[in-house]
């Protein structure tokens, strides 16, 4: 944070806020940045303004991370999500300060950061339970083993809610990745700092590079490239407030039949339920004959 002291005892070392793609922190390939201001309109930082190329690079990174992340054991994913909560807890004061920069009261900032940490813990525990809750054996009328189990949809592009900048972001990212999806997220444009600082948390939590990719900039500019990208499987429009843009994005998503979560008002402090997880899960049902003789004696 810049300080306003006329003659600081020591000049602060500012942080450059960059994108988070494939586990690295690049600037926008476009070379663009935009000014982020605090609640009073004072300069805070020059954030990277992501371009179409950045969005595509992020999708590439997300696609590349799908096999390893969705193939990791549920236990392992749970461990890593819990690790994210631990790292976030360790930087609790930093996040509180960032949220206060954008005008939150001390109490509100504390409450949001604590809720965000707890939300990671909550979702961490879901990793090895969701399959039992939404999948199971199907009692078909015949001598068959028949089991339905959820699987990650793949790459999910997300427009995160503008507010609350941290809890809203955690609230859309955690349910998508806990089940094995990878994500490309367009962060809150006016309050991007918690997103980039969250990326620093993710980068130190054993989360494989590419599982979460964060873009800062204009959702109206970036999201259409994600909505029409053939290597994106699903689109979460929770953070889109412009009805016209939401419709345009949903129309673009139809070309490759992406799963779409439409914009909705969300109470981020409430129990999230499981709908955000199931929105990005596919159900796979496997059949096999039952027979003492093996496949040779099967009732095909």
Q: Which residue stretch of 11-19, 28-36, 157-165, 286-294 sits at the interface with another protein (rule: CB under 8 A)?
A: 286-294
Q: Total residues contacting another protein (rule CB under 8 A)?
A: 43
Q: Tell me the two tokens of residue 105.
A: 């009261």
Sign of the alpha-carbon dihedral angle for 85, 89, 91, 92: positive
Best CA proximity match to 83, nearest among 128, 117, 126, 130: 117
Contact flag: residue 238 with another protein (CB under 8 A): no
Q: Which residue stretch of 7-15, 57-65, 176-184, 272-280 sits at the interface with another protein (rule: CB under 8 A)?
A: 272-280
Tell which positions 242-261 bind another protein, by CB under 8 A.
243, 246-247, 250-251, 253-257, 259-260
Q: Which residue stretch of 18-26, 118-126, 201-209, 282-290 sits at the interface with another protein (rule: CB under 8 A)?
A: 282-290
Beta carbons of 57 and 22 less than 8 angstroms apart: yes
Q: Is 51 helix (H, G, I), strand (E, B) or coil?
A: coil
Beta carbons of 280 and 176 less than 8 angstroms apart: yes
Best CA proximity match to 172, nearest among 49, 56, 264: 264
Least CB distance from residue 200 to another protein, whole Å? 33
Radius of gyration of the chain (CA): 21
CA distance 119 to 113: 10
Q: Is 158 helix (H, G, I), strand (E, B) or coil?
A: strand
Least CB distance from residue 145 to another protein, whole Å? 9
Contact flag: residue 269 with another protein (CB under 8 A): no
CA distance 217 to 48: 7
Q: Tell me the two tokens of residue 93.
A: 């004061």
Contact flag: residue 68 with another protein (CB under 8 A): no
* Strand pairing category for 155-159 and 212-215: unpaired
Residue that has been written with the tokens 């914009």 in this structure: 263
Q: Tell me the two tokens of residue 215.
A: 């873009």
Q: How many CA atoms lie within 13 A of 120 on its CB side?
A: 25
Q: Which residue stretch of 80-88, 90-98, 156-164, 239-247 sits at the interface with another protein (rule: CB under 8 A)?
A: 239-247
String marking each residue 92-131 x if it binds another protein according to CB under 8 A: ----------------------------------------
Q: Which is nearer to another protein, 24 or 251 (CB)?
A: 251
Contact flag: residue 48 with another protein (CB under 8 A): no
Sign of the alpha-carbon dihedral angle for 168, 174, 176, 177: positive
Tell which positions 138-167 bind another protein, by CB under 8 A.
138-142, 144, 146, 148, 153
Q: Which is nearer to another protein, 204 or 278 (CB)?
A: 278
In the list 133, 206, 242, 269, the residue contacting another protein (rule: CB under 8 A) is 133
Q: Which residue stretch of 13-21, 80-88, 181-189, 285-293 sits at the interface with another protein (rule: CB under 8 A)?
A: 285-293
Instruction: Point out which residues bind another protein (CB under 8 A).
Output: 133-134, 136, 138-142, 144, 146, 148, 153, 233, 243, 246-247, 250-251, 253-257, 259-260, 262, 273, 275, 278, 282-289, 294-296, 298-300
């Amino acid at each position: 944070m810049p300080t306003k002291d006329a003659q600081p005892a020591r000049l602060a070392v500012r942080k450059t806020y960059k994108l988070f793609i494939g586990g690295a922190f690049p600037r926008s390939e476009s070379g663009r940045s935009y000014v982020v201001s605090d609640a009073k309109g004072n300069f805070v930082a020059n954030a990277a303004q992501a371009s179409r190329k950045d969005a595509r690079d992020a999708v590439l990174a997300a696609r590349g991370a799908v096999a390893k992340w969705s193939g990791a054991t549920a236990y392992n994913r749970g461990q890593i999500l819990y690790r994210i909560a631990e790292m976030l807890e360790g930087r609790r004061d930093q996040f509180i300060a960032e949220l206060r920069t954008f005008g939150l009261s001390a109490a509100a900032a504390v409450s949001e950061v604590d809720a965000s940490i707890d939300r990671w813990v909550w979702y961490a525990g879901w990793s090895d339970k969701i399959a039992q809750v939404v999948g199971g054996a199907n009692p078909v009328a015949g001598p068959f083993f028949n089991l339905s189990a959820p699987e990650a949809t793949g790459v999910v592009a997300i427009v995160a809610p503008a507010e609350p900048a941290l809890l809203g972001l955690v609230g859309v990212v955690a349910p998508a990745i806990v089940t094995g999806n990878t994500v490309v997220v367009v962060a809150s444009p006016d309050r991007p700092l918690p997103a980039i600082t969250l990326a620093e948390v993710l980068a130190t939590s054993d989360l494989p590079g590419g599982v979460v990719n964060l873009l800062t900039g204009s959702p109206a500019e970036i999201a259409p490239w994600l909505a029409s990208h053939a290597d994106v499987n699903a689109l979460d429009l929770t953070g889109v407030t412009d009805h016209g843009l939401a419709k345009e994005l949903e129309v673009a998503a139809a070309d490759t039949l992406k799963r779409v979560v439409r914009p909705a008002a969300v109470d981020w402090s409430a129990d999230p339920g499981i709908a955000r997880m199931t929105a990005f899960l596919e159900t796979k049902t496997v059949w096999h004959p039952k027979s003492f003789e093996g496949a040779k004696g099967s009732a095909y």
